[in-house]
Structure 1
Amino acid sequence: MPSKKLKIQIMSPNLLESDYVVLGDQLIKQWRIPVHHRMQLVFGSLRQTVRVVPLSKFDGIRISQQLAAQMGVQPRASLRLTYRPHSTTLQFGPLLGVLISKDYPDSPERPFGPITMFCKELVNACQLQGVYVYFFTTDQIGANSSSVSAWVYGDGWKKSQVPAADVFYNRLTSRKLENKPSVQHFLKEVKSRYGSHFFNEKFLDKTEVFDALSRDPSISKYLPESYAFQGLQTLKAMCAKHPVVFLKPIKGSLGKGIIRVSRLEGGAFQTQTAQVGGTRRQAYPSLAKLYTSLSGKMKATRYQIQQGLSLIEADRRPIDFRALVQKNLSGNWNVTSIVARTAGGHHFVSNLARGGSLSTVKEAVLKSSLPPNLKGKIPLKLRKAALYIADAVDHQIPAHFGELGIDLAVDNTGHIWLLEVNSKPSKNDNTPIGVGKIRPSVKQVVEYTRYLSGF
């Protein structure tokens, strides 16, 4: 049965009783919905017995204030509606719940801090497609998984009690929050009790990704040599094979804590560490001395050791690429965007937080050190690699992902390499957009929600 987007009208109790829903007579005839008979209304985890009343020349939904309060919907919201004749069920939705790290109740204009603009853009995209969205933190998860105290948008941001959603989108930016027993219990409960879908359900760490992808022969050509760091012997073995290696915190992000180890003349070695003001360099007469100086840090944090690559450069600054890959209305992976990131003047990592700059793939490749005959092939090669890698993550890692940030590099022969896969691509308010504009990346989240929920 297809779904139809309709505008909600909330009626006062003296005009409509709580167990009645008013629909247009044309839609009732078209879908063969029985009128004045008891049937089930479903909205996320909410189950309510209602009767349908027809209204001529009407193209919307009328519900009572009491039912609206149970649903947590605001006036003038748009929802999709479908009728399931085999179970005599009217299903409203889809209902999307977005799990976020923090809210700021005392800042009504900016209740979600740096991701507020993204949240409002998601509200606008949902409204256009008839999806209802709410936002909640881990502190708003209660003992009862059937409902959540969450933020919704009506005439401004408001708190409302809402049912558990059809689809949950995990935007937590902290592993500690994600691993809270209350969060993990909630995740299991809504999946098992209500059939909810939960995507981007976990952080990825570097060792897990590379170990999993190494099991897929079709992906091996994109993988630099990479291992969980085990100590001095691992460092010696990798430095004997490669002139440069990188030590990366397994759970790191934004380029934090990355150490570049390179050979100097006469058997000495150098480390370069990314810092806020630039790169800190330190020379050591031997690998043993280098390891001794790092061993305290290595005990506190788990690291991945990875083969260094000869990346293409522009003005002697390394370039890499971030592909945003998302699932679409058909449930298939799609490359939403790829941007080039050029490292800042005193950095060897390209993250914006470290002074890096963004440009289009074409601009960066044209300025790069790559031979001219290879430059035209790079955009398509990057797209193909991103899709192959996303597909391999799906098959090799037992978790549900709907979007991935895939960091890729190109060496001076035009070969594509995987640097990192991120299951929580940034949504901070650092991308200027026009008022009312909705980016493809936000629209895609809504479309995948519709796919998962069957709307």
Structure 2
Amino acid sequence: MMQAALPLKKETNRLGTLFVPIEQFKQYVAQVQFPTAISFGTKTVKCEVAPHPDQKDEYKLSSNLWEELMIPHEGLIHLLQKDDTVFIGPLVGIFTAGFTQFNLRPIGERSLFFAKLLSVEKKVGAFYFVFGAHQIDWDNGTVNGYFYMNDGWKQIEVPIPNVVYDRLPNRKVENLEFSKQVKERLQKEYDIPWFNPGFFNKWDIHQLLVNDNKVNKHLPKSYFQPEFSDINSLIETYKHVYIKPANGSLGLGIQQLIIKDDEPFIYCRFRNNEENRLRRYSTLHRLVRRQFPQGLKGMIAQQGINLLKWNNNPIDFRVHTNKDEHGNWRISAIAAKISGTGSITTHVKSGGEVKTVKEILRDIGANPGITKKIHETALLLSEKIDEKMPGFIGEIGFDIGVDQSEHVWMFEANSKPGRTIFSHPKLKADDLQSRRLPLEYAIYLFKQSVEKQPELVNANGHFLQL
């Protein structure tokens, strides 16, 4: 049973008690079953329940239990019950790296992003904080996490959380041994749901989907570690080809090969030292040798698509999908990205521009029904990726293209999508929704994990491990 989110406040006049709204207390009386323990994060202590002294629609908790459970502050919470234990929270930790010694910006340049992410706890109902590997005290089962309060960042010791949201900044940090050890230990020793584990590899995603008849029509023709003959076949068939790293992100390392019917040359468009470059070659052999001197190991060659255009510049669409409080996929944000003149990608750093989908389709006189096609395709792809990949996936960012025939193509799926589209003033609601949904999904995972818990309290007041 999960109650609606209600405020949790501290009670100083009576010890060892959780005070609940009168209607909830009546349910305990009717069932002749009263909770005897209360759990927060991975700490559990004994308690009694009583009706709220002022008959308010809120929870109150005795100050001694408040201290024992290490509750960081008053706030809006959810309450779940399993057997004789009530679970309050959830306590949700965002796992990341790159912490500094500065209290004003404890996670460096990303501090503002995390502050905005944490701010949704007041709307959703949870305790939400950021932590890294070095903030965990394994002996005591606690974390010295960073909370974002009204007066700024504050480090507070709390129990190990109910759910972990993975926001490691890059693949390099993710592959460090200590990152792997934290994840493995929290999952094995505490059975904690850990969502968004790992950056996607472009080729792995392609291989997951390519044999599925419902979605493979949305995948461009692609080769991993292509032979010269593969590139030659793609360029002859499609007139332009993209070559990109399978583990790349932010558009880095992408090159575009182009041929024109009325010219004997082959062109290569790429970005170097913050500049968009274009080179001309007399043969494909020369281009490959010069542009890829280290060979094509770890690279993907992908057919070019004749995309919808705005002022002759190609358009693609960034679509964010998230799981909600019921564990279902939803579109949380969508925007159009227009490539800068001479740019290979639509990334803003390469001169790209962000517009709303409605305004771009209106400006180019395209069918408004394209929006529905993009939505349906993104949700289908999310479900398929989720179905075929291990672990809990809570969000995906897609780069999607639409060709001149209105066919929808998936170029990339990202497990930790960038957020540059949210700089657009008309995407404020999308921005909020894409920050709110991960916490709502964490509440869903909290509920699922409580439902499968065994008898929980041991003599030390900690979870029993399976």
Q: Is the TM value for this pair above 0.5?
A: yes
Structure-2 change in CA distance of 1:66 and 1:285 (3 Å): farther
Structure-2 change in CA distance of 1:35 and 1:136 (3 Å): farther
Corresponding position of 1:272: 269
Structure 1 stretch displaced more, 131-140 or 38-47: 38-47
Q: Distance in 2 between matches of 1:211 and 1:36?
A: 52
SS of equivalent to 2:36: strand
Question: Is it true that 1:62 corresponds to 2:55 in the alignment?
Answer: no
Per-residue CA deviations over 1:136-191 (Å, capped at 9, x if unaligned) read 12333454593322112344321122222222111112112222223223223333
Cα pair 1:141 1:183 within 8 Å, conserved: no
Matches within 5 A, 1:215-226: 215-226=211-222
Q: 1:390 aligns with which of 359, 382, 403?
A: 382
Structure-2 change in CA distance of 1:399 and 1:9 (3 Å): closer
Per-residue CA deviations over 1:70-92 (Å, capped at 9, x if unaligned) read 444333222222333xx210111
Question: Is it true that 1:132 corresponds to 2:124 in the alignment?
Answer: no
Corresponding position of 1:293: 290
Corresponding position of 1:229: 225
Q: 1:31 aligns with which of 24, 28, 32?
A: 28
Structure-2 change in CA distance of 1:336 and 1:55 (3 Å): closer
Q: Distance in 2 between matches of 1:344 and 1:111?
A: 35
State the Cα distance separating 1:36 from its structure 2 match: 12
Structure-2 change in CA distance of 1:33 and 1:98 (3 Å): farther
SS of equivalent to 2:47: strand
Q: Distance in 2 between matches of 1:50 and 1:238?
A: 68
SS of equivalent to 1:330: coil
Structure 1 stretch displaced more, 221-230 or 270-279: 270-279
State the Cα distance separating 1:37 from its structure 2 match: 7.8
TM-score using structure 1 length: 0.88
Structure-2 change in CA distance of 1:375 and 1:164 (3 Å): same
Cα pair 1:317 1:348 within 8 Å, conserved: no
Structure-2 change in CA distance of 1:260 and 1:33 (3 Å): farther
Q: Distance in 2 between matches of 1:291 and 1:330?
A: 49
TM-score using structure 2 length: 0.86
Matches within 5 A, 1:345-364: 345-364=341-360
Q: Distance in 2 between matches of 1:297 and 1:166?
A: 46
Q: Distance in 1 between matches of 2:166 and 2:345?
A: 27
Cα pair 1:327 1:448 within 8 Å, conserved: yes
Cα pair 1:145 1:164 within 8 Å, conserved: no
Structure-2 change in CA distance of 1:428 and 1:170 (3 Å): farther
Amino-acid identity (%): 25
Q: 2:141 aligns with which of 121, 143, 146?
A: 146
State the Cα distance separating 1:357 from its structure 2 match: 0.9
Whichever residue aligns with residue 76 of structure 1, its letter is E
Corresponding position of 2:79: 81
Cα pair 1:104 1:113 within 8 Å, conserved: yes
Question: Is it true that 1:185 corresponds to 2:177 in the alignment?
Answer: no
Structure 1 unaligned blocks of 5 or more: none
SS of equivalent to 1:296: coil
Cα pair 1:149 1:160 within 8 Å, conserved: yes
Q: Distance in 2 between matches of 1:3 and 1:400?
A: 24
Q: Distance in 2 between matches of 1:63 and 1:285?
A: 77
State the Cα distance separating 1:201 from its structure 2 match: 0.9
Corresponding position of 1:2: 2
Per-residue CA deviations over 1:90-132 (Å, capped at 9, x if unaligned) read 1111121111232344142x43344434433333322223211
State the Cα distance separating 1:208 from its structure 2 match: 0.8
Whichever residue aligns with residue 446 of structure 1, its letter is L
Whichever residue aligns with residue 397 of structure 1, its letter is M
Cα pair 1:167 1:197 within 8 Å, conserved: yes
Corresponding position of 2:463: none
Matches within 5 A, 1:333-344: 333-344=329-340
Structure-2 change in CA distance of 1:348 and 1:33 (3 Å): farther
Structure-2 change in CA distance of 1:432 and 1:419 (3 Å): closer
Matches within 5 A, 1:171-210: 171-210=167-206
State the Cα distance separating 1:35 from its structure 2 match: 10
Q: Distance in 2 between matches of 1:343 and 1:68?
A: 54
SS of equivalent to 2:111: helix
SS of equivalent to 1:173: coil
Q: 1:441 aligns with which of 425, 434, 443?
A: 434
Structure-2 change in CA distance of 1:428 and 1:20 (3 Å): farther
Between Structure 1 and Structure 2, how many residues are aligned?
443
Question: Is it true that 1:414 corresponds to 2:406 in the alignment?
Answer: yes
Structure 1 stretch displaced more, 390-399 or 184-193: 184-193
Question: Is it true that 1:283 corresponds to 2:280 in the alignment?
Answer: yes
Corresponding position of 2:208: 212
